[in-house]
Amino acid sequence: MLRIGILGAAGIAPAAIIRPAARRSDVKVVAVASRREERARQFAERHGIDRSYGDYPQMLADTGVDLVYNALPPSEHAKWSIAALEAGKHVLCEKPFAMNAEEAARMIEAAHSTGCRLIEAFHDRYHPLSIELDAVRASGALGGITMLRADFSASNPFNPASLRHDPQLGGGSLMDLGCYPVHWVRAFMGEEPTVLGASASLNPLGADLSISADLQFPSGAQALLTSAMVEQAQHLNSSLEVTGTGGQLRVNNMVFPSRGHSITLTTEGLERTWTVRGLETYDHQLEAVVDALQTGRELPTEGSDCLANMKIIDAIYQAAGVGR
């Protein structure tokens, strides 16, 4: 039985870990911690969690917790992930992994020194859709890749009280949304790009409401990445387009494919559209984590992958002139 403790009584936790755990017989969420004891207690009661703590170190000292799900703001990821690792817990840390690559490197070093696992929660990477895209790439149907376009935009009007809009807490469209397109193009290409240029529009607090970046891969392919917190109600787009010398690929709904998605491949003038069967992305992620802890198998969103993604995020911000 894998026993999970949640750091932060966060709104993402029910979908990301509580409900997926409840659908399994070998996983249980046993504890939650918040800086406000009453909030932790109410959260635990609402979700049927055995223990609640009004202090993070208390939960990390709980010997009945095997894995910590770090749902805190990005500004708290490094400190408390490292503390959890040093307490002998494995960690599933929400994206974005850290505030910058320097923090990410320290987190990964802590995982190495403690022998505990530290995994970034890019849940979409574990859905069968990702495996299908890897297969399309490996098939050679697209020929040589020349251009990728990736976008994640969602309705999230400016709110100064929201952590997603506060740069001190790790807010901004690139950190909250654009980290996914960065991950998509890196995973699809299997290469680490350089940033050619970037631009951003900022909110009154200095966080990016939207950002775009031009990337160059060693193989010669270029990529245009965009992310935006838009004003339109219920707007959501997470798409990837790939152009090669042999054809084009378009994928709709990269982030939540179980809610409806499509894969369209055009080669030699013929267009084929299909989908792949799968559960919620979070179910596949938890399955992968359980398997990795049992087998020791390395996951695609841990170790050097986490650091590489943060390096690109840092470089995009620097190219856009966004101070952090």
| pLDDT (mean) for 14-25 | 98
- Which domains does the chain possess? 2-120 (3.40.50.720), 124-320 (3.30.360.10)
pLDDT tens track for 223-273: 999 999 988 877 999 999 999 999 999 999 999 999 999 999 999 999 999
Q: What values do phi and psi take at 238, rounded to 5?
A: -140, 100
The angle subtended at Cα 175 by Cα 207 and Cα 127, nearest 5°, is: 155
Tens of pLDDT, residue by residue over 90-146, are: 999 999 999 999 999 999 999 999 999 999 999 999 999 999 999 999 999 999 999
CA dihedral for 314, 229, 170, 51, sign (positive or negative): negative
> Tokens at residue 197, please?
């240029």
Catalytic residue list: 95
pLDDT for the residue 140: 97
Residue 324 confidence (pLDDT): 75
* Among 65-79, 83-97, 135-149, 155-169, the least confident range: 155-169
